[in-house]
Amino acid sequence: MKLRIIISCLFFLVLASCGSKKKVVQKKKDAGVVLSEPIPERLPSVNQKEFTKKLIKKNPKLNKHTLAYIRKYAPIAVKEMHAYEIPASITLAQGILESGRGRSELAAKSNNHFGIKCHTKWQGERVYHDDDEKGECFRKYQYVETSYNDHSEFLTKRSRYSFLFNYRKKDYKKWAKGLKKAGYATDKKYPNKLIKIIETYKLYDFDDIKKKDFKVTKGKSKYNKPLNAIDDYYEVRKGDTLYSIAKKYKTSVVKLKEINELKNNNLNIGQRLLLK
């Protein structure tokens, strides 16, 4: 009798323990958390405005969007050069090429100026974009400056790029060819494209700026603004027309069409217009 009671108790205990088990629910892949990005510092001028004015005088046919990009981001490229020993000319040329002069969808919506993909260790926000394959994962940043810094970290912390740092900072040709050799891009013409941008816009001049002449002051960066308020650019919103934008920024429809190479008055939401 006692044996039956003991067996019955054990049976009920087993049932109870089985019933208390929770179902394992697999969580959906995290879309990424918002990383705490440092507020960008106010950087000193590298005479980028005067620099681009001289370029225009010598060659008025130079691309206005590329010139605007240089005016905005040259100081950041110089800062990264002094911190990571990567030529400013290379960083700036890559930014221009990879971001479509800051006008690509990836750059406009994600502040990703170097086409850096998520990879396995990336914990931040992400967006999906067609590249080598459909719907590839790319990193999303709050600030353009973070994108530049992440580009520097990307090159310095991966062993396949280590040989690049044996080259002189002024040898932009070796750096351009080395990036292709290390597998940064699949395009066979990638080095030539970088070299052409550097030589056309004389970006190698920024490689000569010494650290002692580049002193960072306290304060927030002037680029720390929403995308629709960044210096010379305006991001088109619903209801905007060329006339309303021209009136708001005290310019003309004719000028807006000319500098943005527009053939008609049609605009798309999210489109970025150069204002001057």
Residues 83-97 pLDDT 10s:
999 999 999 999 999
Single pTM value for the model: 0.71
Fold of the 41-221 domain: Lysozyme (1.10.530)
Top pLDDT among 198 and 28 is at: 198
User: To which residue do tokens 């240089």 refer?
Assistant: 70
Per-residue pLDDT tens over the stretch 101-129: 998 989 988 999 999 999 877 888 888 87
Q: CATH 3.10.350.10 occupies which residues in the chain? A: 225-276
Averaged pLDDT, 143-172:
95
CA trace torsion 25, 28, 38, 272 (10° rounding): -160
Token digits for 7? 């067996």
Q: pLDDT at position 124, please?
A: 86
Fold of the 225-276 domain: Membrane-bound Lytic Murein Transglycosylase D; Chain A (3.10.350)
Residue 98 CB contacts under 8 Å (≥ 6 apart), including other chains? 104, 113, 114, 115
Give the range among 16-25, 187-196, 261-270 with minimum mean pLDDT.
16-25
Ordered DSSP codes for 53-112: HHHHHH-TTS-HHHHHHHHHHHHHHHHHHHHH---HHHHHHHHHHHTTTTTSHHHHHH--
On whether the CB atoms of residues 42 and 216 are closer than 8 A, the answer is: yes
The helix or strand, by DSSP H or E, that contains position 272, with its residue range, turns out to be strand 272-274
Q: pLDDT at position 42, please?
A: 85
Q: CATH 1.10.530.10 occupies which residues in the chain? A: 41-221
